[in-house]
Every structure is written in C-alpha cells, then in structure tokens.
Structure 1
Amino acid sequence: MGHLLHMISNYERLVVFRLGKLTRAKGPGLVIILPCIDKISRVDLRMRAFSVPPQNLLTADGGGVEVGAEVFFRVKDPILCVTNVQDMDRSSRVIAQTALARFITSKDLSDLEIHKLEICQQVQTEINKMTLSWGVEVSKVQLSEVKVIQEPNPIMSGCNNPFNLLSQVLFPPGSSAPTPSAMPSFPFPTQNPPPSLSQTPAILPLSSAQPIDAADVKLMKCHTVEELIANVRPHLTPDLVRDIGCVYRFVEEGTVDEDKRVFYMDLKHGNGDIGEGEPPYGDWDATLTLSVDLLTRLLRQELSPFTAYMSGDLTVDGDLRAASQLGQLAEKMNK
C-alpha cells in the first residue's frame, strides 16, 4: 500500500507519467499511483531563494565593483518545471548570474546606488523571460552591498562610441592630433631589386599537389543559411557526435515571424547532420535565435557564446549547458 498511496501536502504537487505519457499534476491529498506503470516527480511549490556569488565586474564608466544578489523564486507550473528543464536549480542560477552581469556592465558606478531598485527590477524581468517557460517565477531580486574595487575612469565616462574612446585615449584634451607633416617618413627600400624569374620558386604541377580534406579547411564566412549548411556539413564527424551529443535548433534572427528560417545541427544521431527545417528526429536540446553571421563567428571562434549571450545578440531557449557547448564544438571544428 505504501507504493500505491502517496500523501501530497498543500505545498506540493505530483507530476505523473503513465507508461511514459504525461497525465497531470496531482495533489494535494491522497494520490493513487500504479507501481511499474506510473513514474512520478514531486515538486515543491514553496518560495525558495539562492545566492548569486559576488562577481568582479567593470561598469560602463570604467569602475570596478564586486556585487552579488539574492534571488527569490517559486514554481508556478509544476508540469513545465518537470518537462521543460532538466536541472531547474542550476539553470536558474546560470540565468541569474548572466542577467546580473549584463545589467551591471551597462550602468555607471553612480547608477548602482541611485537606481539600485530599478536595476533589481530589470534583472528580475530578464530572468523571468527565460524561467517562465520552465514554470518558474522570480518574485524578487535583491542586490548585495556594492563594493568598489576601482574608481571610474573619467576618460571612459559617457564614451559609448569606441572610436570616441580611442581618440580620447590617444589624444587627450589639450593635445592635438599629429599632422601629416609631423609624421616620420620612411623611404621605400629600393636598394634590393625585385627577384628575377630564375629566383622565384617553381610552381608545383597540380598532379603533385596533396589532396585537401574539406574538414581540414577552416570554416568560411557565411551570409546565408544555404552557405552555412554547405560549409559546416564537411566538418561534421562521428567524433563530434560522440563528444557533443546535442541537437541544436536555430532560428534566423531578423526575419518576419511568419517566414522565419529554421535550421538544425544534429550532433546526437549517426554521423551528424545539418539542414534546413525542423530536426528530423523531432526533439532538440536548445533553440538558439541568432543571425547567420553571428553563428559563423561563433563557429570560427571569433566570438565566445558567453559574450554573444551577454550582449543580447544570442537568445537561448532550452538547455543552457547544450548552448554552452558551442564553444567546445567550435574548438573541435577548427583543430
């Protein structure tokens, strides 16, 4: 009888899968479970909290701060909490840490105290954009005491344009940019004549050239989905499938909702595959919304996934750990 009857408290729900199919969330009260047929997950609906450990961050005006946060949350939908995220606690912590870092680095040091409540609300809204799809709602974010570890740099204050910042660093106020006449001149070396034809290296005939494996060529820059698919496909190998083990669903950013280009990269089945449309096996680990140019830069190791996510150019829906493996994927593709 102990396996048949489960007592569910007012603050709990029991998500039941019968023969692998989701039924519904049951409770509170006495719930009957069929042994060997039903699989259950018990979900706690009470308010919980976790701490975002203090991070050393650089503010927009060049100041350095150490700041953390306390995040209060609860499960709003037990079914989504079980079916849409594998590790709710860890994923929520990663989202909170990333959102906090993004907003702190976009503010001046003086704003952290003046607009502290507003920043907390913005961080809360940013976290909820992701966690509500998991059935988790963040009700409050509270910043810890802001510890200043570096005073703001007056040169960087208000310099949102990197070219203006560079000009102020190279030519501070009171100085003038050098004129062409003040620039040192370097005569073109003419003492060494160009090599004669007899000195130029011989060109090997095509028959003696070594064959080039397409997988050994670095990924080219791509501007369309078709170019990306054609360039990535030769790089997919069974070793990548073994090491990555994820299916990615990509949505091209900047297109109309009714005509969004969707493509996939399957690194879980067979020898790996990439193509346009939905993943053929019907499931994926993460949906990434980004431009083709950004995905090309990620795969060419010109940009890290964390930087792209922090800047807001990359949106992730699903398993964040799978999305973070893009860096490992790019490293293996460019070996």
Structure 2
Amino acid sequence: MNPTYLLLIILGLILLAGIRVIYEYKRALKFRFGKYVKTLNPGFRWIIPIVETIQVVDIRVITINIVSQEVMTEDNVPCSIDGVVFFKIYDPEKAVLEVEEFSFAITQLSQAALRDVCGKVELDTILSNREEMGKNIKAIVEVETHEWGIEIMDVKIKDIQLPENMRRMMANQAEAERSRRARIILAEAEEQAANKLLEAGLQIDKSPSAIKLRLYQTLSNIAAEKNSTILFPFPEEVLPRKKRKSE
C-alpha cells in the first residue's frame, strides 16, 4: 500500500476519534495531559486524541433524594424523615475541580442538615411547617455548595414516619378536636335559635292578633294529619267576647 494513503487513513482516524458533540444542556471541561485547559460550550468540538480528554457536566436542575433519617425531635419523639434536594451547577469548573463527587457530597450535607434542623424543633413544628424546615435545611447546605459552583434551588421534606403508638395518639387527639368543634357549633346554633324564639315570643306578646294567627296556623297543621284525632284545648281568652245585650 502506498505510504501516502496509509498516512491519510491514519490521519483521518485521528480526526474522527477527536470529534465530540456537546449538547445545549451540558458543558465539557477539557484536560490536556491531566491539566484543566478550558470549558467547552455546546456544539461540535474536536480534541486531540490521547493527549486531551473531556469531562461532561449537566447544568440542568438535578434532584437528589435524601434517604430516610432517624431523628429525635426536641420533645423526644423518634421519627423517620426523608426529603429531596433540587440543585443546579452554575460553575462547572468548580463543581469538578473543587469537590470529588458533588452529588455524593450534597447528599451527605443534606442528611446532616436535616437531622440538625429537625432535631432542634418539636414534632408539631415539623408537621405544620414543612416549608420552613426545608428552607432552613437549604440555608445550611448552600453555604458549602456555593464554594463548589452549585446553587441549591430548593429542599422539600417528603414524608414523616411516626411510631404506631404516636399515630394512634394523634388520631385520638384529632378526633377529640373535631368533637369539640362540633359541640361548639351545636351550642352556638342552640343559642341563636333560643334568641330567635325569644324575639318571636316578645313580638307575639305585644299583639293579641298574632296569638290568634299562630293558634290558627297550629290548628291548620294538625288538621293536615288525617290519620289521627287530636284534642286541642282552646284558650278562652283568645276567643272574641260576646257583647251583652243591654236590658
């Protein structure tokens, strides 16, 4: 084979071996003989095979689950809490060069922060203020990740597992609270009804005609029941008095 053709084939293979395509949502750090050179932007890129290598970093929002952590709250209630962390790399160079494995590091930081934050408050606070707990965890984690070129977007507490006896106690407490509210509402309704009846009685007392109308209405309602016979005492004082004939 002609040496020229052989040289062209080898050169073509070298050129093909160095072709790299970087997607829009990624960045690539180029190293030459192990030393960082620069960060490659998206598009068609070429590196020198063997001499140069690249490490690709995803700059989209990434999620990491916080595995369930055993936490003892301030009021000595044991519980298991898990969550999720949302973060984004804004400086690929720092994310690769400043920390060995940023995903693992963020996971460890988040677990420690979750135990620290939830261990300083009572159980009721955790249950009612999950959003606030997440913000406190985020504030602790992002202090460290800022040095790594990583922004913590948000931290959410997903699930809180309580012991069986604690769940029963909370269910009983909730049932008692619902019963208390129902009794209060019933008492308020009875009070309002009594006030209305009192107002109606006062109005009827002011007018004898109103007493008659109420009596006639009651008789009409009773007469609608055709299957029973009811004796109703007729108050004499509500009847019209007969005029005596003058002698």
TM-score w.r.t. structure 1 length?
Answer: 0.43
Q: 1:64–1:150: 8 Å Cα contact kept in structure 2?
A: no
Shift of 1:96: 0.7
Q: Does the Cα contact within 8 Å between 1:62 and 1:151 map onto a contact in 2? A: no
In the alignment, what sits opposite 1:33? 47
> Tell me, what secondary structure is at the counterpart of 1:145?
strand
Aligned length, in residue pairs: 152
The structure with more helix, counted as a fraction of residues: 2
Cα deviation for residue 100 of structure 1 reads 0.5
CA apart distance, 1:151: 7.8
CA distance in 2, matches of 1:2, 1:121: 49
Task: Read off the aligned partner of 2:133 and give its amino acid letter.
Answer: I
The structure with the larger Rg is 2
Question: Does structure 2 retain, via aligned residues, the 8 Å contact 1:55–1:67?
Answer: yes
CA distance in 1 between counterparts of 2:21 and 2:54 reads: 13
Aligned partner of 2:98 in structure 1 is 84
- Partner residue, 2:79: 65
Change beyond 3 A, Cα 1:151–1:76 = farther
Runs of 4+ in 1 over 3 A off after TM superposition: none
Deviation at 1:19, TM superposition (A): 3.0
Which residue of 2 is the match for residue 318 of structure 1? none
What residue is the counterpart of 2:126 in the other structure?
112
Amino acid at match of 1:93: T
Scaled by the length of structure 2, what TM-score is found?
A: 0.58
Identity %: 23
Classify the secondary structure of the residue corresponding to 2:28. strand
Larger mean CA deviation between 2-11 and 14-23 belongs to 14-23
The match for 1:138 is 152
For residue 23 of structure 1, report the CA deviation from its aligned partner. Answer: 1.8
Counting only pairs closer than 5 Å after superposition, residues 87-106 of structure 1 correspond to structure 2 as 87-106=101-120
Partner of 1:54: 68
What pairs with 1:167-246 in structure 2 (closer than 5 Å)?
Answer: none
Partners of 1:63 and 1:150 within 8 A in 2: no
1:44 deviation in Å?
A: 1.0
1:82 Cα deviation after fit: 1.0
User: Paired residue for 1:264?
Assistant: none
Q: Which amino acid aligns with 1:10?
A: E
Task: Write out per-residue CA displacement over residues 250-278 of structure 1, whole angstroms, 9 at most, x where no aligned residue.
Answer: xxxxxxxxxxxxxxxxxxxxxxxxxxxxx
> Unpaired segments of 5 or more residues in structure 1?
153-335
Residues 154-182 of structure 1: per-residue CA shift (max 9 Å, x gap): xxxxxxxxxxxxxxxxxxxxxxxxxxxxx
Q: Spell out, residue by residue over 1:201-243, the C-alpha distance to the aligned partner (whole angstroms, 9 max, x if none).
A: xxxxxxxxxxxxxxxxxxxxxxxxxxxxxxxxxxxxxxxxxxx
1:148 aligns with 2:162: yes
Could you say what the CA RMSD is over the residues aligned between the two structures, in angstroms?
A: 1.7
Instruction: Say if 1:47 and 1:72, in contact at 8 Å, map to a contact too.
Output: yes
C-alpha distance in 2 between matches for 1:124 and 1:15:
28
**Amino acid paired to 2:154:** K
Amino acid at match of 2:54: I
Shift of 1:150: 7.8
Q: Would the alpha carbon gap of residues 59 and 151 (structure 1) be closer, same or farther in structure 2, given more than 3 Å must change?
A: farther
- CA distance in structure 1 between the aligned counterparts of 2:164 and 2:30, rounded to whole angstroms: 53
Q: In the alignment, what sits opposite 2:188? A: none
Deviations 1:178-213 (A, max 9, x none): xxxxxxxxxxxxxxxxxxxxxxxxxxxxxxxxxxxx
